[in-house]
Amino acid sequence: MSQPFFSPPFDAQPVTKPGDQLLVPDYPIIPFIEGDGIGRDIWRAARRVMDAAVEVAYGKQRKLGWMEVLAGEKANQLMQAWLPLETLEAFKTYKIGIKGPLTTPVGGGMRSLNVTLRKELDLFVCQRPVRYYQGVPSPVKNPQDVDMVVFRENTEDIYTGIEFQSGSEENERFLTLLKEHFPAEYAKIRFPGSSSVGIKPISKEGSQRLVRAAIRWALENQRRRVTLAHKGNIMKFTEGSFRAWGYDLAESEFGGRVYTQRAWEQTRKQAGEEAANAEMQRALSDGKLYVNDMIADIVFEATITRPRDFDVIATMNLNGDYLSDGLAAQVGGVGIAPGANINYDSGVAVFEATHGTAPLFADKDMANPCSLLLSGEMMLRYLGWREAAGLVVKGIEGALTAKTVTFDFERLMDGAVRLSTSEFATAIIQHMR
Annotated ligand binding at 16? The verdict is no
Q: How far is CA 280 from the centre of its chain?
A: 31
Distance between CA atoms of residues 63 and 25, nearest Å = 9
* 297 contact partners, CB below 8 Å, separation of at least 6: 231
Bridge-based pairing of strands 338-342 and 65-68 is unpaired
The C-alpha angle with vertex 348 and arms to 209 and 394, in degrees rounded to 5, equals 100
Annotated ligand binding at 128? The verdict is yes
User: Is 414 an annotated catalytic residue?
Assistant: no
Q: What single letter denotes the amino acid at residue 12?
A: A
Distance between CA atoms of residues 132 and 129, nearest Å = 10
Annotated ligand binding at 233? The verdict is no
List 297, 345, 363, 364, catalytic entry = 297
Query: Partners of 32 in the beta sheet?
Result: 68, 98
Annotated ligand binding at 216? The verdict is no
Annotated ligand binding at 354? The verdict is no
Annotated ligand binding at 190? The verdict is no
Annotated ligand binding at 386? The verdict is no
Alpha helices in 38-142 (DSSP H): 39-58, 73-79, 85-94, 113-120
The C-alpha angle with vertex 357 and arms to 352 and 358, in degrees rounded to 5, equals 135
The C-alpha angle with vertex 356 and arms to 51 and 353, in degrees rounded to 5, equals 30
List 231, 247, 259, 365, catalytic entry = 231
Annotated ligand binding at 368? The verdict is yes
The answer to whether the beta carbons of residues 41 and 369 sit under 8 Å apart is yes
User: Is 95 an annotated catalytic residue?
Assistant: no
User: Is 231 an annotated catalytic residue?
Assistant: yes
What 3-state DSSP class applies to 153?
strand
The separation between the first and the last C-alpha atoms of the chain, rounded to the nearest angstrom, is: 38
Annotated ligand binding at 118? The verdict is yes
List 321, 365, 382, 408, catalytic entry = 321
List 94, 132, 133, 159, catalytic entry = 159
Distance between CA atoms of residues 413 and 359, nearest Å = 25
Query: Partners of 97 in the beta sheet?
Result: 350
Numbered residues of the known binding site for D-threo-isocitrate: 112, 114, 118, 128, 152
Numbered residues of the known binding site: 103, 112, 114, 118, 128, 152, 321, 368, 411
Numbered residues of the known binding site for Mg(2+): 321
Q: Which residues are catalytic?
A: 159, 231, 297, 321
Numbered residues of the known binding site for NADP(+): 103, 368, 411
